[in-house]
Each structure stands twice: as C-alpha cells, then as structure tokens.
Amino acid sequence: MKIVNEKIRKVVAGNGREARIWVERPELVEEQALKQIESMLATPNLVEHIAVMPDVHWGMGATIGAVMALDDAIIPNCVGVDIGCGMACHPLGLKYEGELKTRDHWRRWLGQVQRSIPTGFNSHQPHPELLQAQKLEARAERGDQAGIENLRCTEYIATTKRFGNVAEMVLCQQGTMGGGNHFLEIQRDESDNLWLMVHSGSRHVGYQIAGHYAKLAQAVNQRLGQPAAPHLNWLSLSTPEGRAYLNDMQWAVDYALLNRKAMLRRALGVMGIAFSEDLLINIPHNYAAVEEHFGKQVVVHRKGATSARVDELGIIPGSMGTPSYIVRGLGNSESYQSCSHGAGRTMGRKAAKKALNTSMFAEALAGTFSTASGSYLDEAPQAYKAIDLVISAQDELVTVVHKLTPVITLKDGAGGVD
C-alpha cells in the first residue's frame, strides 16, 4: 500500500481500491493507521472509496477519522464502542468581561458543575426521586423520548442478561460525562462572546450494545462462511441481526444526544441561563446512517468523523487548552459530505504518560483557568495533533464560522477545585 500522489488530498491504493486522505503531509498519517486502512479496504460490499480525515489515527478495530460506505451491510466496529459520541455547544449570551473574566468566578462555577455532573465511571445514585426526575426530564425531550421511554434495544435486551437493570442504568447515567477525551468547557469567540461546549456519548449502555453486536457479527460471518478482516465483521441490513443493530445503534445515538442536553442544562443552570433548543449546535461522530451518495443508497459509517452537508453547522474541538472551531459544511461528495471530529491523537495514552509531565501540561494550559493534573496527563495538548493543521487540511470540506478559545475545562480526574 502506498501514497500515489502528493496533493493535499492523498490517494492511497490498496487491494485495487482507494482511500482518499485529507492531510497536509504524508508523514502525519501513522504507519499503523495506514495498515488498518488497508485492512478496511478489503471489506466486502465496500462502495467507491474510503474517505480519511486529517485527524486520522489508529483505533480499536477500525481507524478513527474514517468514513466508509457499504452496500446493504453495517460493521459495528466501524461505528465504535461509544455509539453516538459527539459534540454539542450552546452560547451563553454573555461577554468575557468584568467578573466573567476572573479565575475565581470560573473556579467557583466549575466546583458547582462538578457536584451536579458525575464523570468517568461515576453516575447518579439510583434512588426513586432522582429516577423519577430523570424520567420527567427525558419526557421533556420530545425528539428523544421514544428511545428513553420504550428502551427499544431489541436484539441486545432480548439476548443478554449482563446489563442488569437496563432502565435504571440508562436513567442513572443520563446527564453524566465519560472519561478520556470527554469534557465540558467554557469558551470565548473572536468577539469575546462566551460558549459552553460538551463532548460525551452513550455511556455504558452504548458500550454494551457495541460489544454485543461486534460478537454477533463475528458469529454470523463465521456461521455463513462470509469473509471479514479481523475485527471488521459485518451484518447485512437484509437480515434481522443487521436491522436490529441499526435500530439499537440509533437508540444509542438518541440517548447520547439526550445526555449532552442534560449536561448543558445543568451547567447553564448554575449560571441561571435557560437552555434553548434553537441555539443548540449538535453533531455526533460515531454512527452509521443510510444515505444517498454517488447515486445509490448506501450505509455510511462515520467513526471519528462528522457530517458536513452544505451549510450544516458542525463542531471540531481541539485538545484541552487549544482552540475549538464551529464550522459550516461544504457538502464535498468525495468525503461523503463529512469532516474531521477533532484534533486526533499523536501519542497513545500510555506513551503520553511516559513522555509528558505536569509542568509541560501546565505550560500548555497557560492562558486558561484550568489546572494540569497527573490524573489526566494523557489528555495534555502535546498528545494531540495541532488543531490548526487539522483545520487547514480540510478547507475543501468546511469553512470556519467561529474560533473558540478555552476559558476553563471540566474533565474526569480533576478532583476537587482550588
């Protein structure tokens, strides 16, 4: 497998198929990711080419930052384990001035938010009053209530018992933030208008659904003698199993959105600001959908990539301490009307913890009110690609609407605030 042209949009040939990669320089794509892309190119039912975003890096099962289209087939590992994970942001209607420009104000706000939004493996306690309040909040979300009220995880709930009390877990994890690269952040734009951004997904529910269907796809492929690359087992949408995954995956996407809205409501509420559906920008980056591309109906998989249809607003976050961007899609057909989902890692988590220290982390957070911590050293900006290069590499895919500079960030592992 090799890169066969030297334009910004690289074309990688393998197995007689192509992967078109939007990067500034070939060396920005790690060798491990290129090998994984080559494996993905051998997928049965692949349509046209694979589109690879500038934040590309190796992932579990399939490359993160990749978009692929299949004919009547869906691959759970090309969606990922955090189904529906994505970004949402909401303007505050306030300026970065006066008290809102002080460290004390934002550290107090962060402390209050930490008490209302559990992070990492934590969740809300399952007492009856809270569960009832969570259920009422779910009903208030008209577009999402079907997923919460009916719990339509057809195949998964019918065939597994590991999940325990499904309804209770769904409700207890509603309005909670995951670990790793998930965050909640106050930001300011070029005109010093303040924004609130959150990155999170479908929590343990999505993880369990993903794991169940990855195993199911492997069993189906083996039983029917269908070829599949390692960790790239697939299900036909013509089968009950494929249709069940598509249904349950969409349920998890809906739940992830409900989760992000719940966190925005609570974080805004600390400041006495009402959440507005009309002001919300939301974009998921781990999902699959039936769409029309190149004149045919195909199943588009976006793993670490987002939709970027013509005039569609999206969010491309940087790493902790670096800018994020609100963008507008250009509807590029060669990228399946998609763009990157973030900066993309340059170091694995273990490697980052070995190579970096808290002093380096603190230096990268200068200019923000966030505190560096060894508990999430693997989230230091030095472990990620430069967001400005990622943005400039996709000027065929999106245009920048706002550049958002971080003010203060909540992440799992932050502990108490000072």
pLDDT recorded at residue 130: 58
Residue 99 lies in a domain: yes
How deeply is 307 buried, as exposed, middle or buried, from its count of CB atoms within 10 A (0-12, 13-18, 19+)?
buried
Number of separate domains in the chain: 1
pLDDT recorded at residue 380: 92
pLDDT recorded at residue 142: 44
pLDDT recorded at residue 141: 53
Residue 361 lies in a domain: no
Low-confidence stretches of the chain (pLDDT beneath 50)? 1, 4-8, 140, 142-151, 154-163, 415-418
The question of whether 199 is a catalytic residue gets the answer no
Residue 362 lies in a domain: no
CATH number assigned to the domain comprising residue 73: 3.90.1860.10
Residue 300 lies in a domain: yes
Residues spanned by the domain of 42: 2-346+384-410
pLDDT recorded at residue 157: 47
Q: At which residue do the structure tokens 């600001």 appear?
A: 273
Residue 378 lies in a domain: no
* Cβ within 8 Å of residue 326, ≥6 positions away: 89, 281, 313, 314, 315, 400, 401, 402, 404
Which of 57, 182, 341, 402 is labelled catalytic? Answer: 341
Distance between terminal CA atoms of the chain?
Answer: 52
Q: What Cα–Cα distance (Å) separates residue 358 from each residue in 261, 303, 331, 365? A: 32, 31, 41, 10
Residue 360 lies in a domain: no
pTM recorded for the entire structure: 0.90
pLDDT recorded at residue 210: 92
pLDDT recorded at residue 416: 39
Residue 148 lies in a domain: yes
Residue 359 lies in a domain: no
pLDDT recorded at residue 10: 61
- Taking alpha carbons only, the member of 168, 9, 15 closest to residue 1 is 15
* Cβ within 8 Å of residue 345, ≥6 positions away: 57, 383, 384, 385
Q: Which pLDDT tens digit goes with each residue over 53-70?
A: 999 999 888 999 999 999
